[in-house]
Structure 1
């Protein structure tokens, strides 16, 4: 018997309800997704290398055939077919041109994909050294409308970048040099931003094939066997010195990521004195005493570990030639366990942000801070006595020297690494700072060839109550608050006319995690969709 019309209507009703409910669910899901995206978290793609190697833009990942070191080099998206000829192995240094050139061209990888917490800043003030996303004040609606940088200056402060470090004073005391104080990075941030210079685990397997003369590994010393090999060995208990050979490698702000961008005429490299040296010490017997010495900024910074003692101290080079205990400043020695025989002990020697720290097996056992003003810092860095305006931009008086002294036991050294800190560079403005109209009263701030904002006593970055100062970790290749210049007319008319700074209303959120690292293609010229899951990480 055929169904009646009422029965057919009843049968179709559940299907209609199912369609309507599905549409309602999709609409609710869409609204929730848009709400989540607008107010909680949102994904962004890193377009450039201004934050490298913390965050990577479009790049190629290479592995050295000489040392085995794996590293990224940024590429210009406008020239993706740039040849890799003539690049240097980062473990050997920029002088070894061609040592990093691979046999075959590597596939291009896209920039890191990150998640940004947008709900944080409406309820919690941004902190110094946060990595943040914000609207580009010079072009908020363009292809580069969203920027990501490290926040280094807070509202109502005056910022002065001196010898690579951040100094800050209250904005109402901007002209008083004595009010500026060094701004030290939290430990978790500092550990994330160390930049590897060399490692004993990565050395040339065939040095005879290098185009430049190879002096050997930078660490050298009488009665020391440093290879090249991963383990350095000394077979005497008599006093010995392992010394960093500055002829083989100078510790400076060279950034391997920029090799393709600055292939021929990159900026002059600047010596860096904020460094970390790490290594695992394995004494053959008890009684080993070791003293690590770092010479930079016309001072010697000394770390002692051994015979149940740990100590950090420093003194001026003016005391050279006096008694061995004359002129030292520091908190004094503390008691620790002696270095055990036959077992590795991990040591870390930190000198960064006008502070010294000594770590033993990952634990900070002693530290000291020193609070030089910008004037004093410039005098020690340049080795000259003059006003700060004259000293800015002068070359460093010396390069960083390292000596590691041992006595009391034969020993082996493993995993000896040298790292450097971020270095914020001094620069000058060019015409790009005036690509947007100059508002009345700001003409002198954006004049061509004047000092970049925050890098000179005549160009201190004096921030208002809603201003933030941003800088890229890759300072050599970063367009940031030092260089931006005039804001876009839309920003100037609706938010703020002040050049260089980021207004609070332009802040989008704190960068949280790299959730889809540098995707690449499975085939040449294919779509990049395979993430590098080994580099999933939180952003520090």
Structure 2
């Protein structure tokens, strides 16, 4: 708690807890918002608005300055002495503390969201010409968008990052690179992102896997209707 050097940002109280009566607590930390529920009712909410650079800094043992990020050349593998990589990132820790009397925890569950892997770009990343100021970020040997401190995912108004459903195989927004000359001139010249004006719809069903083992030498490209399901 605060005695250990913590900073108390927000607190909440609940009705007195009776002995030997279960109390259901739920904590969510997602989309830059911490929310706590007690018996299904929200009792505390703590939103925050950190930029990509601030989030990177708070994941380290010290803040990383903008100058340090700007001087990191795209495509380099940082050494142990690089200011962005050293000191190393702090490990994520989940910790529960209780005071005021004994308690028993039952049916404790931790659900973690999926994440997209850090990967380098590929040969298709530079299929469109890139402006000189973003040429390094769009290099086929550089790191994908949002997967390395030198290529942070920072979105502006009406900009979206398109993510695939298979982190290891999807050629998604991490590797798009520069937009086509037409899009760059008429809509938005920002690399890796898709502007709102270019959105034509949304995914509404999951259709993978769709390889059915029908005998022969291997699976056949036949839709697996049994695996089709709507996206909520």
1:364 to partner: Cα distance: 1.7
Q: Quote the offset at 1:420 in angstroms.
A: 1.6
| 5+ long unaligned stretches in structure 2 | 70-81
Summarize the Cα distance change of 1:363–1:505 in structure 2 as closer, same or farther, 3 Å threshold: same
Q: Is the 8 A contact 1:522 1:530 kept in 2?
A: no
Larger radius of gyration: 1
C-alpha separation between the residues in 2 aligned to 1:522 and 1:408? 59
Which residue is equivalent to 1:140?
none
Cα distance change of structure 1 residues 500 and 360 upon mapping to structure 2, 3 Å threshold: same
Deviation at 1:368, TM superposition (A): 2.2
- The one of 136, 151, 173 equivalent to 1:481 is 173
SS across alignment from 2:192: coil
State whether structure 2 residue 28 is matched by structure 1 residue 350: yes
Q: Residue 419 and residue 427 in structure 1: after superposition, are their counterparts in 2 closer, same or farther (change >3 A)?
A: same
Name the CA distance, whole Å, in 1 between partners of 2:53 and 2:186.
39
- Partner deviation per Cα, 1:232-256 (whole Å, 9 max, x = no partner): xxxxxxxxxxxxxxxxxxxxxxxxx
Distance 1:522 1:404, change over 3 A: farther
Cα separation, 1, equivalents of 2:20 and 2:188: 64
Q: Residue 500 in 1 paired to residue 195 in 2? A: no
Task: Select the residue among 531, 534, 537 that pairs with 2:226.
Answer: 531
Are the structure 2 counterparts of residues 523 and 362 from structure 1 closer, same or farther at C-alpha, using a change threshold of 3 Å? farther
Distance in 2 (CA, whole Å) between partners of 1:487 and 1:418 is 40
CA contact under 8 A between 1:437 and 1:486: conserved in structure 2?
yes
Confirm or deny: 8 A CA contact 2:56 2:149 kept in the other structure.
Answer: no
Quote how far apart the aligned CAs of 1:478 are: 4.0
Q: Write the mapping of 1:171-190 to structure 2, written as runs, cut at 5 A.
A: none
Q: Could you tell me how far 1:365 is from its partner in structure 2?
A: 1.7
User: Who is 1:359 aligned against?
Assistant: 37
Contact 1:379 1:391 in 2 (8 A): no
1:383 Cα offset (Å): 0.8
Cα gap change, 1:356 to 1:412, in 2 (>3 Å): closer
CA contact (8 A) 2:119 2:147 kept: yes
State the Cα distance separating 1:347 from its structure 2 match: 1.9
Q: Does 1:438 find its partner at 2:129? A: yes
Equivalents in 2 of 1:341, 1:513: separation in Å? 45
Supply the distance in 2 between the matched residues of 1:402 and 1:465 (Cα, whole angstroms). Answer: 36
User: Which residues of structure 1 form unaligned runs of 5+?
Assistant: 1-301, 303-314, 316-322
The residue aligned with 1:397 is 90
Contact 2:56/2:64, CA 8 A, preserved across alignment = no
Distance 2:184 2:7 in 1: 53
In 2, distance between residues paired with 1:447 and 1:517?
A: 31
Q: TM-score, normalization: structure 1?
A: 0.31
Q: 1:439-479 CA distances to partner (integer Å, 9 max, x unpaired)? A: 56464442344443355675456767775332346555543
Report if the CA contact (8 A) 2:121-2:143 is conserved. yes
**Contact preservation (8 Å) 2:209, 2:224:** no
The 3-state SS of whatever aligns with 1:511 is coil
CA-to-partner distance for each residue in 1:471-509, whole Å, 9 max, x for gaps?
346555543223222446786798776542324454220
Note if contact 2:64-2:84 (Cα within 8 Å) is conserved in structure 1: no
Aligned partner of 2:121 in structure 1 is 429
The alignment partner of 1:482 has SS state of helix
Alignment of 1:400-419 (within 5 A): 400-405=93-98, 408=101, 411=104, 413-414=106-107, 416-419=108-111
* Corresponding position: 1:329 with 2:1: no
Partner deviation per Cα, 1:162-186 (whole Å, 9 max, x = no partner)? xxxxxxxxxxxxxxxxxxxxxxxxx
Distance verdict in 2 for CA 1:437–1:367, change over 3 Å = closer
Conservation of the 8 A alpha-carbon contact between 2:117 and 2:167: yes
| Alpha-carbon distance between aligned partners in 2 of 1:377 and 1:497, rounded to the nearest angstrom | 25
Shift in Å at residue 337 of structure 1?
4.7
State the TM-score, normalized to the length of structure 2. Answer: 0.62
**Residues matched between the structures, number:** 212
Structure 1 counterpart SS, 2:172? coil
Which structure would you say has the larger RCO, counting Cα contacts within 8 Å and 6 or more residues apart?
Answer: 1
